[in-house]
């Protein structure tokens, strides 16, 4: 589990513990509107081949995982995400937080378990976007998966599940 160094009692970020945690993860940009135009995803829509970028992520980050984890968690998450994107005209590597929210909400209707949706649908996307965000070959400056938490819907619920595993979160984080 990823630990933030955020001190929840500081009051630096407002909102519930879930919102505070997401804001701490987001860093500078808390919403797409806060991102300068030159770093917004739509600027790069012609420069990024999502399939190629997923394959690069797979090779760089998933190499040591078991065959079943890669196939049934990551590849399945990728197929579901690609299907959603194809149906809704979304670039898979350049999604808006609302697209992430809508996709995860759909997944929760199909797989009514927060834990499964977190582990097998949300987390692979989150990690892929995080990888692109910190990789020097990509212009990603924000992670729409984390921004989607602040929409207060399905992704919020999935992110809240993550807090239960953290060591530095107060007992009551609602």
The alpha helices in the chain, defined as continuous H runs, are 17-26, 50-61, 67-69, 76-88, 97-110, 114-117, 123-134, 144-147, 154-163
- Show me where the domains of the chain are located: 40-163
Is pLDDT of 163 > 90? no
Is pLDDT of 172 > 70? no
- Residue 25: pLDDT band (50, 70, 90) is confident
Which residues are CB-contacts of 165 (< 8 A; sequence separation ≥ 6)?
1
Residue 169: its pLDDT value, please?
52
Comparing 46 with 103, the larger pLDDT belongs to: 103
Query: For the CA atoms of the chain, what is the radius of gyration?
Result: 16
Is pLDDT of 9 > 70? no
* Cβ pair 115, 162 in contact under 8 A: no
Which residues are CB-contacts of 20 (< 8 A; sequence separation ≥ 6)?
6, 8, 12, 13, 14
Q: What is the 3-state secondary structure (H, E, C) of 48-73?
A: CCHHHHHHHHHHHHCCCCCHHHHHHH
* Cβ pair 97, 147 in contact under 8 A: yes
Is pLDDT of 121 > 90? yes
- Residue 13: pLDDT band (50, 70, 90) is low
- Residue 12: pLDDT band (50, 70, 90) is low
Name the least confident of 16-20, 58-62, 101-105, 134-138: 16-20
Residue 20: its pLDDT value, please?
83
Name the least confident of 31-45, 47-61, 104-118, 157-171: 157-171
Is pLDDT of 88 > 90? yes
Residue 77 burial by Cβ neighbours in a 10 Å radius (0-12, 13-18, 19+): buried
Q: What is the DSSP letter of 152?
A: T
How many angstroms separate the CA atoms of 30 and 90, rounded?
A: 21
The 10s digit of each residue's pLDDT in 36-83 is 888 888 888 888 999 999 999 999 999 999 999 999 999 999 999 999
* Cβ pair 165, 65 in contact under 8 A: no
Residue 100 burial by Cβ neighbours in a 10 Å radius (0-12, 13-18, 19+): buried
């Amino acid at each position: 589990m990823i630990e933030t160094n955020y001190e929840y009692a500081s009051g630096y970020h407002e909102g519930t513990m879930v919102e505070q945690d997401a804001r701490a993860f987001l860093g500078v940009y808390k919403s797409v509107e806060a991102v300068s135009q030159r770093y917004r995803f739509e600027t790069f829509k012609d420069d990024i081949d999502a399939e190629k970028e997923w394959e690069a992520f797979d090779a760089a980050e998933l190499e040591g995982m078991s065959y079943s984890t890669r196939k049934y968690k990551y590849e399945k998450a990728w197929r579901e995400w690609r299907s959603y994107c194809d149906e809704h005209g979304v670039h898979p590597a350049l999604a808006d937080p609302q697209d992430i929210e809508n996709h995860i909400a759909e997944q929760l209707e199909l797989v009514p378990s927060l834990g499964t949706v977190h582990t097998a649908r949300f987390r692979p996307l989150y990690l892929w976007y995080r990888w692109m965000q910190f990789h020097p070959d990509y212009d990603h400056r924000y992670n729409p998966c984390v921004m989607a938490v602040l929409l207060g819907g399905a992704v919020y619920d999935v992110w809240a599940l993550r807090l239960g595993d953290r060591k530095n979160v107060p007992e009551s984080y609602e």
